[in-house]
Structure 1
């Protein structure tokens, strides 16, 4: 899908504040998602300072934190600090410790592909204990079945949700927000507003520095171990896009790493096999380890998706993901390049529970083919 970018004569901070004030001007309940990460801290700081300035009504606001159990200790402390600030300012703060379901890239190796936060069947190995004020259940919540993305719209349907999601985080999010018409019609079908959707990563860090906002120390620890600032993710550890934080965790927080290994024994795989196709890696280290062996990824995919399908994909979710890959293979075969077939293969091998990798590959192939067709037509006109 083509994405049209429109420049504005308003700076991003002013624009974000205007969006927030517009939301509160409706007089309906406002729910703000908070994770303790850098993006949600930026959004929280913007909202909090508007409350201090008397520009929005804090009595309309409920801050929602879905505690995913396997989080950094400093994220917990940061969230407690913001909880206290918002409650003293007159807002409500809901801290949820419920059995929400995630997909775990480590459990892709077994028949159980899920990770259930605060699993009532594994209390003896919880990474942390829930705080005494945490909300543990709700009539509208389906324990062990719901993801928090499915649950939140049910409890926030009477108002508007604010979240710190940004389009610059990935191609998929850029496309998603373009399709929503954010900035055009303004509000989405799920009544969700993204006040900082147009911020780049550098904008986030610059705002936090200029406003002297405290950040969880784990960001500094991760940066010191060599993680690129664009890859500093501090959410739940077990999804394929956040697992990099485990690779060096033992270096700066061995106690937390020990607790994580008790909770998820397969987590050691991130350390042992980080530079491999399992984690979509294409580094020099991986090339040295595996050698420069030429592979026909198109042929490998054909065998996986059409010959060994039932054998390789032996759970309902794996078959669903593989079916989507097979559809894209059929649709793009002939248009895809060798590197695209390799990405498809590695996406299947690493696990792609939310199909983010698949959508990125589709976008890459489509754009490359459109560019090729455009250049071909121009060449034809010139030759004619």
Structure 2
């Protein structure tokens, strides 16, 4: 879709959008991560709150295994705006993805009973009481918590959650903004999140350069971790701040020992596979450090795939087997009723135009847990257990219980 100019710069546009929301929404909060985009978002929203003599809530979900510089920055922002914000610093046991191990595909931040291996201790001001929120469930997922928090905070009022995402940042974020969703009064930079809650993205059309221009021009504080990333050789478009063990985030896991050597051993000790994940993901982003894969002598890609499945822990094996069964069934209904080929043209495989067992092998070797290489997206967590039970029955019907 072509971009259309609005006759103003992105800062003016963002300020107008924020003012529009303040005029119409009773409850307002900012989803804050400590990264460059959410920091810019917080600065802009608090500017509007100051003009109106209002307070806004700020939600920061502390994922434990985070850079000390990020935590210091978050604390600095909370202190700087203490008169204008209602802080919610969350340090509760949430389930997170661990993409660096097949044996521990998830981990729980702030897990009770594992205090001795926590990367750090939560600040005294953090919410650590599991009974604080009526909706909280032990080891609920990050995304679940975010959505439930919005409904809880808003109550019966029209509620806006300001989120600092930009369309240029990634294809998934671009999709968030352009796909067919319910908008508030037709505004393309809003999405309905259920009941009376809307996400608002006033800086969706900013570039990375705009973020840093805004920070520099107005002398606003930013997370100094980005300065160290720059010194480490990362371009402004490569710099990311998030929990280190996720599917996409593991590419930056190796940076911990370079940027914060005192944090690195704690990150390694915290979850299964972190050390090897950092070693092999540094160059390619793959857990095994491979883009080109090869099969053992005497194996086809199909037999190698089944060998890999057989070597996995039962729960992980069941997860991948369900995904592969859906993949095979989908292609069986589209001209491959007698089975998919062992391999196909590499370009067609890369473009996901054709199925093959080599594509399946790549997913397994890369520990691609949500099987994005097979065109899947992440399964909604609240439906996942039901999905697993349904898939077990379907695999019996389809005849894919051989793995």
TM-score (norm 2): 0.74
Please give the per-residue CA displacement for 1:168-216, whole angstroms capped at 9, x wherever unaligned. 1211221232113769822322011111112222222222222222222
1:32 CA drift (Å): 0.8
- Tell whether 2:191 aligns with 1:188: yes
Select the structure that is richer in helix: 1
- Tell whether 2:196 aligns with 1:201: no
- Tell whether 2:73 aligns with 1:78: yes
* Counterpart for residue 42 of structure 1: 40
Distance 1:251 1:24 in 2: 42
What aligned pairs does 1:270-285 form with structure 2 within 5 A after superposition?
270-274=277-281, 275=283, 278-279=286-287
1:277 CA drift (Å): 7.1
1:118 CA drift (Å): 0.6
Instruction: Classify the secondary structure of the residue corresponding to 2:114.
Output: helix
Unpaired runs of 5+ residues, structure 2, are: 353-357, 378-403
- Tell whether 2:313 aligns with 1:318: no
Mapped contact 2:21–2:160 kept (Cα < 8 A): yes
What aligned pairs does 1:257-296 form with structure 2 within 5 A after superposition?
257-274=264-281, 275=283, 278-279=286-287
What aligned pairs does 1:141-160 form with structure 2 within 5 A after superposition?
141-144=136-139, 146-157=140-151, 158=154, 159-160=159-160
Distance 2:331 2:233 in 1: 36
| Compared CA separation, residues 246 and 26, structure 1 to 2 (3 A) | same
Instruction: Classify the secondary structure of the residue corresponding to 1:99.
Output: coil
Distance 2:330 2:7 in 1: 40
What aligned pairs does 1:1-384 form with structure 2 within 5 A after superposition?
3=1, 5-52=3-50, 54=51, 56-59=52-55, 61-89=56-84, 91-107=85-101, 109-110=102-103, 112-136=104-128, 137=130, 138-144=133-139, 146-157=140-151, 158=154, 159-179=159-179, 180=181, 185-186=186-187, 187-190=190-193, 191-274=198-281, 275=283, 278-279=286-287, 300=301, 311=310, 314-315=314-315, 316-323=318-325, 325-326=327-328, 337-340=348-351, 345-354=361-370
Mapped contact 1:64–1:93 kept (Cα < 8 A): yes
Please give the per-residue CA displacement for 1:247-268, whole angstroms capped at 9, x wherever unaligned. 1322332110011122125211
Instruction: Classify the secondary structure of the residue corresponding to 1:216.
Output: coil
Please give the per-residue CA displacement for 1:72-106, whole angstroms capped at 9, x wherever unaligned. 111111111111223222x2011000111111111
1:44 CA drift (Å): 0.8
Mapped contact 2:168–2:207 kept (Cα < 8 A): yes
1:357 CA drift (Å): 5.5
Mapped contact 1:68–1:117 kept (Cα < 8 A): yes
Per mean C-alpha deviation after superposition, the further-off stretch among 36-45 and 257-266 is 257-266
1:166 CA drift (Å): 1.6
Unpaired runs of 5+ residues, structure 1, are: 362-384
Mapped contact 2:183–2:192 kept (Cα < 8 A): no
Mapped contact 1:34–1:44 kept (Cα < 8 A): yes
Mapped contact 1:63–1:93 kept (Cα < 8 A): yes
Instruction: Classify the secondary structure of the residue corresponding to 1:18.
Output: helix
Distance 1:11 1:328 in 2: 46
| Compared CA separation, residues 304 and 224, structure 1 to 2 (3 A) | same
| Compared CA separation, residues 121 and 106, structure 1 to 2 (3 A) | farther
1:163 CA drift (Å): 0.6
1:360 CA drift (Å): 9.5
